[in-house]
Amino acid sequence: MKKHQKQKHIHFIGICGVAMSALAIAYHKKGYKVTGSDKGFYPPVSTNLAEAGIEFYPGWHVEKMLAGSSLGEGRTANGDPDVVIVGNVAGSENPEWQYVQEHKIEYLSYPEAIAKDFVQKNSIVCAGTYGKSTSASILAWVMIEAGFDPSYMFGGVSINDIPAAAIGDSDYSVLEGDEYKSARWDNGAKFFHYSPTHLLLTSVVWDHADVYPTEEDYKHAFVKLVSGLPDGGCLIASENVGKIEDYFSLREKRLKDCTVITYGKNEGNDYRYGNVETTKHGTTFTIYNNSNTYNISTSSLGDYMADNMTGCFVMAHQLGMKPEDIIKHLSTYKNIKRRLEKRFDGDITVFDDIAHSPTKAEKVLESVRKLYDGKLFVVFEPNTGNRKPASLPGYDNAFVSADEVIIPRLSRVKVHEADPDKPIYGKELADTIGKTHSNVLFMPDDEKLVEYLLKETKKGDVIAFLGSHGFRGMIGQLVSRLSE
- Note the pLDDT of residue 157: 83
- With 0-12 / 13-18 / 19 or more C-beta atoms within 10 angstroms meaning exposed / middle / buried, residue 145 is middle
The identity of residue 299, as a single letter, is S
Q: How confident is the model at residue 76 (pLDDT cuts 50, 70, 90)?
A: very low
* pTM of the full structure: 0.83
Q: What is d(CA 183, CA 111) in angstroms, rounded to the nearest whole number?
A: 8
Distance of CA 422 to the CA centre of its chain: 25
Q: What is d(CA 54, CA 36) in angstroms, rounded to the nearest whole number?
A: 8
Instruction: Tell which wins on pLDDT, 253 or 439.
Output: 439
Count Cα atoms within 13 angstroms, Cβ side, for 6.
8
- Note the pLDDT of residue 126: 98
The identity of residue 314, as a single letter, is V
Domains of the chain: 9-108 (3.40.50.720), 113-331 (3.40.1190.10), 341-482 (3.90.190.20)
pLDDT tens digits along 462-484: 999 999 877 888 999 999 999 98
- Note the pLDDT of residue 350: 96
Q: What is d(CA 257, CA 440) in angstroms, rounded to the nearest whole number?
A: 51
> Facing residues of 462 across strands?
349, 376
Rounded mean pLDDT, 319-346: 93
- Note the pLDDT of residue 75: 43
Is the confidence at residue 156, as pLDDT, over 90? no
Contact 37, 96 (CB under 8 A): yes
121: Cβ–Cβ under 8 A, 6 or more apart, which residues?
171, 172, 197
pLDDT tens digits along 78-105: 457 899 999 988 888 889 999 999 989 9
Secondary structure (DSSP) of 93-129:
T-HHHHHHHHTT-EEE-HHHHHHHHT--SEEEEEESS
The answer for 73, left when phi > 0, alpha when psi is -120 to 50, beta otherwise, is: left
What torsion, rounded to 10 degrees, do the Cα atoms 190, 192, 196, 201 define? 70
480: Cβ–Cβ under 8 A, 6 or more apart, which residues?
none
Is the confidence at residue 30, as pLDDT, over 50? yes
- Note the pLDDT of residue 312: 98
Helix count and strand count (H, E) for the chain: 13, 23
Is the confidence at residue 365, as pLDDT, over 50? yes
Q: How confident is the model at residue 191 (pLDDT cuts 50, 70, 90)?
A: very high
